Structure 1
């Protein structure tokens, strides 16, 4: 007499098909508690239910069979959680990339609208508290988080405005370039990587990107098209100012990022004749 439940009963208990349970057995992930040597019937016990369900969830997340076996064979709970966590982090990163691509495509495939509000703005020279380094494009987000946390810890006086960043053109053309993040303060400190940084005067074509950064590339592209249409040329690193960001609100829909492209004029007097020079979207004479 064999104890336990049959594979059919076990399938009902776990909401897994008999075919799936047989596959788990054949791959060495979940062997039945006993197998009748005469009939070949498989019998399972109730304490195998959680294991079967863990295997199913891991496979639903596309964790390779070899890694599932490694996770199941690890008796230490923290080590097991760490192994599973590696796959979860990778899946979260893939999900983020998919979400960003979906949002960008939705904006790109919509009929083009005229809601882009571009301003030409002159920025005076100033000295800020900053951290700068040469960073790979894939590492920018993690580097930014660490640098901003270090800036927040180093600055004791009240900031004079929102934080910002400058991103060298090589970051986008070569996949690696100089990145600066900063906070405007009256007396920039020298502490760790934080030091005073002089920002020279510049003239920017500025637009505000609303919401999360998943589709910020679309806003960059539209700003770039505006710059080309108005006979301006990009001159220098990209500027970003984080008017409202994750440190202000956890709601991504409320985020506001100001994008500024340093520009210089090519033939301003010939741009769109007949327009009012003060009209939004036109460079002044």
Structure 2
């Protein structure tokens, strides 16, 4: 049996993206190209790999089995081919990162432009996702997460600010109307703007700390948004006077400086360690990822 490697990659793109159009966008090809490649692969293997309807493309049992084994295998093939990169004057190829929206907004903007300028032959793709994922199974080379969400078999490299804080704030108009809380427990009497993780859990309790005293409160309010992509809606609502927000201090800093938002309970803001770039320790590191790791380490030393 002689199966084309390109057809296998096409199958992988469709399976991971959940459709031909989505797979085409992710892989930079066309839906018709992927469809034809999958048809060739199914004909060569003699089995149907996808159940297709007008609304969905779902792997069959055979497709699921192939997907489970194929992803790691093709990753190893890519790693083997990447050895050639070591003989180039400068690294080339693709680098895919899986990061939360907060990292895409607060960490990567100061890293990505100078990195791409230093390595013009590298094509960087950033996928935002709030839940922790197996980066290899997701077709990514590395991810960014916080230390409490890292698995033990991952190698972690500090990236971005090493200390961060969650900040609480509201618009001056809201605070003039409803009062300025002096203790976290007073938040229970205010309209608070909340988030919900992809798992369904709310971003509560809000946790505060001062002089060794830890206070956790379960606030409520008129607005709940999905953590990540909809966080800016919460910020806009807070600026408009809808209620009190609790989010990364760096996310709110421009609005503190403009006066659109006023910090509250600042002595109680809890500190936590910054994010990490993580990648599997059980595989050869591709040249684009190695270049990115070295660039991040150099940036951290200079900070």
Q: Does the pair score TM above 0.5?
A: no
- TM-score of the aligned structures, taking structure 1 as reference length: 0.26
- TM-score of the aligned structures, taking structure 2 as reference length: 0.24
Larger radius of gyration: 1
Structure of higher RCO (CA pairs closer than 8 Å, 6+ residues apart): 2
